[in-house]
């Protein structure tokens, strides 16, 4: 038997067997060979967790995509770093904190506001209070589904996009669970930021501000 096709090649395989009445039968499997290239992801996202420490009570502030992008950056001089990420996407944010004194309440908040969710989607806020000086309280939150904050933020034009707002007391630990896409597809790194006291050629985690810095073993810079 011969099979032919102008669009694609066919693979014919015949195997012999017996039917229930013991008469020989031939089963023919015809499969078309697909010449379409298989799916190729040139740069795979990398999942990463970064922890930062809060030095003094931090009032609520807006967190932009730039802060996340520069959690992985390379120093080209003592005062300049370039991000190694082309795009980032937040999975989850966690804050561990406790009170600094007995009978004193401390608060932490995470808010996905209108700037991060889109004007057609309501914002979402969560908060927690701790009065313990010995046990941590945990506040955790994920970006609302289909919100702007849940999408990949990529390229130099996304640096100023507001992803969320948060506040945390002194001594708090903030963890960002996120995906980042290495900047392998660009001819040159395109986003730079300033720091002080960096060493050329070292990879740093740039702090969010002078009050929220990366924890060891990460190399912190600001």
What tens digit of pLDDT does each residue of 74-115 get? 999 999 999 999 999 999 999 999 999 988 999 999 999 776
- Residue 145's pLDDT is 85
Q: Which two tokens stand for residue 158?
A: 């996304």
- Residue 147's pLDDT is 85
Rounded to whole angstroms, how far apart are CA atoms 70 and 208? 9
Domains of the chain in sequence order: 46-221 (2.60.120.220)
Q: Taking the chain, what is the end-to-end CA distance rounded to the nearest angstrom?
A: 74
- Residue 221's pLDDT is 95
- Residue 176's pLDDT is 98
Cβ atoms within 10 Å, residue 97: 24
This prediction's pTM: 0.81
Tokens 């046990």 correspond to 135
Percent of the chain with pLDDT over 70: 79
Closest CA to 194 of 54, 84, 77: 77
- Residue 191's pLDDT is 83
pLDDT along the chain (222 residues), means of 10: 45 48 57 76 91 97 95 95 93 96 94 71 84 95 89 87 94 98 71 93 96 97 94
The answer to whether the bond into 182 is cis (omega within 30° of 0) is no
Rounded to whole angstroms, how far apart are CA atoms 125 and 75? 36
């Amino acid at each position: 038997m011969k099979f032919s096709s102008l669009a694609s090649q066919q693979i014919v395989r015949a195997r012999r067997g017996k039917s229930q009445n013991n008469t020989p039968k031939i089963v023919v499997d015809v499969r078309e060979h697909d010449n379409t290239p298989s799916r190729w992801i040139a740069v795979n996202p990398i999942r990463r967790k970064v922890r930062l420490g809060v030095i003094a009570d931090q009032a609520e502030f807006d967190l932009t995509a730039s802060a996340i992008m520069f959690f992985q950056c390379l120093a080209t001089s003592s005062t300049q770093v370039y991000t190694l990420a082309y795009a980032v996407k937040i999975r989850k944010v966690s804050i561990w904190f406790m009170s600094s004194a007995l009978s004193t309440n401390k608060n932490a908040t995470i808010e996905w506001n209108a700037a991060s969710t889109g004007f057609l989607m309501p914002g979402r806020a969560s908060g927690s209070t701790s009065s313990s000086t010995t046990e941590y309280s945990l506040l955790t939150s994920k970006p609302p589904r289909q919100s702007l904050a849940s999408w990949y933020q990529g390229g130099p034009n996304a640096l100023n996009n507001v992803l969320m707002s948060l506040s945390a007391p002194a001594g708090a630990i903030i963890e960002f669970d996120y995906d980042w896409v290495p900047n392998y597809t660009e001819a040159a790194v395109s986003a730079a930021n300033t720091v002080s006291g960096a060493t050329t050629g070292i990879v740093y985690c740039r702090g969010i501000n002078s009050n929220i810095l990366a924890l060891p073993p990460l190399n912190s810079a600001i």
